[in-house]
Structures are given as C-alpha cells and as structure tokens.
Amino acid sequence: MATYAEELAQWRQERAKAQIADRCNQIRQEYAEASRERDQAIAQNDLETAEFRDDDCKQLEQEWNHYVPPQSQVDPRLAEFARRNATFLQRYGQKAYAVLDQAHQYLLRPRNPNSNDPRYTGMGFRPEHAYTPQYFRALKDLLEINGEQLFGVRYDRAEQQLTANQAAKISGLSPQHYNHAVRAMHAQGRLGQKK
C-alpha cells in the first residue's frame, strides 16, 4: 500500500502533467492565431505587424519546445500539410492525428473490388507516392467527403492557411516580388529563425 507521501507525489505529478497539457493546447491556439495574423500582415505589406506577430510565434515555438522537445525529422511535405491545416488539427487534437493515420492507412491499402467496407478496401496508393500532391488531394477529398461518416470529424478545405503564392495574390504582388520581400525580411532576421 502506498504511503501518504507517495500518493501526494503521484497526485502532484498528475496535476503537473494536466497543467502542461493545458498549456500546450493554449500554445497551439495562440500560435495558429499569431501565424495567421503574421501571414496576413505580410500579404498586406504591413511589415511592422508581421515582425511583432513573428516574434510572438518564435516565443511560442520556444515554449512549445520546452514542453514537447523536437522528435525525429518529419517529412517537410507532411509538416506543410500540418501547418496549413492547423485549424483542423487544433479542433480535434489527438483525435485528428489518429484520424490522419487511419486515412493514411486507407489511402495505402489496396483496392478490393469485392468489398465496400472501408476496413477491407482502400485507394491503392503505393508507399512511394505518400505525401505527393495527388496523395494530399486524395486525403483531403477523403476527409471532406467521408470524414464525418468514417472518422467522426468534419474537415473543410476552406479553413486551410494561405500559401506564399496565395498571400502574394492577396497582397497584389507577383509571387516573385512577394517571395523576394519575405526572403529579404528573413535574411534580416525579421521572420522566423535562420536556417
């Protein structure tokens, strides 16, 4: 039987875990808002606001890394998908990641013309085609059309964050001018961390 001190230590540990999980959820929400506002400010050529919001993003990234140390390297195409679909991921939390894993398995499972049951059939993508534009298009289609029925989630492409080319179009700049301005700001240390 555990002593009072052991039970108290266990309770404190569980309480600390819950507080960290709560703060991580807050960081996700704050980061999505700050990065969206930064990207919109860049698109509107409001560099002062973009710098301010990017500083917020950097601070949140540092705090996140304190609680959730970086793991193994993630495919950059998958990371970009996650960045653009942050709203979906935040709405459903861990369930979103489980759903994406199930959808990934469905996309890679072979087609079975003898069954309509999604547990026994798939879309027949080959593993080497994972994370290609066609893969992500099929993934979004699957989630948008069948997300509620198969996985119990609602996915809406309209919630995706802007790409650099979309931001350029909104700002009225050509993609080349917009990207040049963003690179110049980055080189000056005014956007994100230097690589």
Give the tens place of pLDDT for each residue, 108-167. 999 988 888 877 888 999 999 999 999 999 999 999 999 999 899 999 999 998 887 888
CA gap 34, 82 in Å, rounded: 16
> Which residues are CB-neighbours of 67 under 8 A, at least 6 positions away?
20, 23, 24, 27
This prediction has a pTM of 0.53
Per-residue confidence (pLDDT) for residue 88, from 0 to 100 = 95
Going by C-alpha positions, the residue among 47, 92, 83, 87 that lies closest to residue 186 is: 47
Q: Tell me the pLDDT tens digit for each residue of 57-115.
A: 999 999 999 988 877 678 899 999 999 999 999 999 999 999 999 999 999 999 988 88
DSSP 6-46: HHHHHHHHHHHHHHHHHHHHHHHHHHHHHHHHHHHHHHTT-
- In the block, which residue shows the tokens 């942050």? 86
* Beta strand segments in the chain, E: none
- Note whether 152 and 98 are within 8 A (CB): no
Q: Tell me the pLDDT tens digit for each residue of 131-145.
A: 999 999 999 999 999
CA gap 72, 191 in Å, rounded: 24
Per-residue confidence (pLDDT) for residue 72, from 0 to 100 = 65
68: exposed, middle or buried (C-beta count within 10 Å: 0-12, 13-18, 19+)?
Answer: exposed
